[in-house]
Amino acid sequence: MFRLPIRSMSTAARQKLRIGLIPADGIGKEVIPAAKAAIIALGSDIPKPEFLDLMAGWETFTRYGVALPEETIHALRSDCDCALFGSVSSPSKKVVGYSSPIVALRKELDLYANIRPVVSVAPQAGQQPDVDLVVVRENTECLYVKQEILETGANGKEARATRLITERASRRIGQMAFDIAASRPRKLLTIIHKSNVLSVTDGLFRETVRAVPSLPEVGGIYDGVTINEQLVDSAVYRLFREPQVFDVMVAPNLYGDILSDAAAALVGSLGLIPSVNAGDDFIMGEPVHGSAPDIAGQGIANPLASIRSAALMLRHLGYTKGADRLDVAVDQVIREGQTLTPDLKGTSTTSEVLDAVLRLL
């Protein structure tokens, strides 16, 4: 069970917990309602939840000409304490006027950290999991700034993309990663980079993260954290060969995206991997899986990653009892193995898996 350290968001008494729901596209429309039902089932362990249904995504773009309406951004900023995002479908070819709404949301709300725990479920409660690591992914820059141009030159068409790495973004994602590493038993942080080739961009990321423990405002609180480094290509190799060597991994945006999706194979399915998009003032849960258009609407999407994402979100807000109940219920459903969706070699439907979780709650 992954425990995200509580940062600046206080646990001040709330009469109500206002949660924005953004199912977006594909199976997001099936798994976000499941997470909502699980949250409601927590009863008095959290403030009374109120849900605000919000729009974003490719379908929103095709209907209204905008993928992320201003109304959604305004509601998240003004009317919500937190949010859950489902999944987004994006075309593989450039569509004029369209840009990924989840990338835009992370920038608009300054959700600079994408935190993705990958933890296997031990055969018996209380046993140590075989895989227990956290990918801390910088969430606002790298190649995902989406500054691309297409020109025609002497060699025909030439495509270029800008990769942005800044000291500010690297410092604060480094500090988030050190916070998480310091809160875990092993206290081990691995910096993922490719600075042997990209000596300027990855070099800046590496050097800035390494310097975090020396910042004047830190004051020695990370002295117990061991710092390792790993080139991103060899990190993927070691991830599959010996995942136990990793505890907390911190990476630029693109590397973190690839590493966390790859790590999902170690525990059985992307349908199990949760995440939160975290900033200093807002938190948004988001299952790691995509919109899965091949199974959308069939009622067989795995809801467990969205329920785990809700648990991460609640824990970050300080509601640890409710978050723990969600995690224990999900782990028990996986451990029993009787009610699983096809991605986990089961035959159950989304609603049947949800019902199994709700019974345990």
Residue 26 burial (CB < 10 Å; 0-12/13-18/19+)? buried
Q: Which of 53, 79, 223, 233 is catalytic?
A: 233
Is 144 assigned a catalytic role? yes
Is 280 assigned a catalytic role? no
DSSP assignment letter at 124: S
Two tokens, residue 318? 């300080």
Is 261 assigned a catalytic role? yes
Is 331 assigned a catalytic role? no
Q: Which of 144, 222, 255, 319 is catalytic?
A: 144
Answer for the pair 241, 249: CB distance below 8 angstroms, yes or no.
no
Which residues lie across from 140 on neighbouring strands? none
**Spatial distance between the Cα atoms of 54 and 75, rounded to a whole number of angstroms:** 8
Is 202 assigned a catalytic role? no
DSSP assignment letter at 3: -
Answer for the pair 289, 295: CB distance below 8 angstroms, yes or no.
no
Q: Which of 45, 110, 130, 261 is catalytic?
A: 261
Q: Which of 25, 132, 247, 257 is catalytic?
A: 257
Residue 51 burial (CB < 10 Å; 0-12/13-18/19+)? middle
Catalogue the E-assigned strands of 54-196. 82-87, 113-119, 132-138, 148-153, 156-161, 188-193
Q: Which of 25, 194, 331, 343 is catalytic?
A: 194
Residue 4 burial (CB < 10 Å; 0-12/13-18/19+)? buried
Residues labelled catalytic: 144, 194, 233, 257, 261
